[in-house]
Amino acid sequence: MDDIVEKDLSYSIVKAAYEVFNELGPGFAEDIYEEAMIVVLKKYGHIPEQQKRVDVFFQSVNVGFHKLDLLVDGRVILELKAVSEIIAIHKQQALAYLKATGLQLAIVINFGAGRLQVARVVNTRQRKIASHQASF
C-alpha cells in the first residue's frame, strides 16, 4: 500500500519548482517565484489558485484570515519562501494552514538558498479547527 499523501501531485509540483529554480535561480522576491510557479503549474495542466483566502475560526468565531500563497488543484497548499533556509516556523505555519482548511498536504518550497529546498507537511488529523465551515 502506498501511504504517500498526494504522491503524483506532489511529484508534479516539485518538478515545477525545479523548473522554476533552474531557470531563475535564487535571489528574487517570493512573488516572482509565485508567478513563475503559476506559469509552470498551468503548463503541467494544474489549476493553481493564487492568494486564496482562508478564514480562521476559534470557538466558532471568525478571528481572522490568511491568504495561501498557492493552492494547487484544490488539494495541496504551497507555501513559497525566498530565504536562506527552511526553518521550523515555516513548517508550523504550513501545518496551521492545513488545520484551517482541513487539507492533508502542504509543501514549503524555498527558492532563496543555493539549492532548491522542499519540505512536505502532512496534516494527520485531516479536520478543520473550526466546528462550522470556513469560507474556503
Mean pLDDT value of segment 110-116:
96
In this prediction, residue 118 has a pLDDT band, given cuts at 50, 70 and 90, of very high
**Residue 121 or residue 58, greater confidence:** 121
Q: 129 is written with which cell numbers?
A: 479547527
Q: What's the pLDDT at 2?
A: 56
In this prediction, residue 9 has a pLDDT band, given cuts at 50, 70 and 90, of very high
Residue by residue, DSSP assigns 58-104 as ETTEEEEEEEEEEEETTTEEEEEE-SSS--HHHHHHHHHHHHHHT-S
pLDDT, tens only, 78-95: 999 999 999 999 999 999
Looking at domain 7-122, its CATH architecture is Alpha-Beta Complex (3.90)
Q: Which amino acid is at 129?
A: I
- Sorted by where each begins, the domain ranges of the chain are 7-122
Residue 131 has pLDDT above 50, yes or no: no
Q: What's the pLDDT at 133?
A: 40
Dist. CA 78–CA 74, nearest whole Å: 11
Q: Identify the three-state secondary structure at position 24.
A: helix
Q: Which amino acid is at 10?
A: S
Dist. CA 114–CA 106, nearest whole Å: 22
Q: What's the pLDDT at 127?
A: 56
Residue 130 has pLDDT above 80, yes or no: no
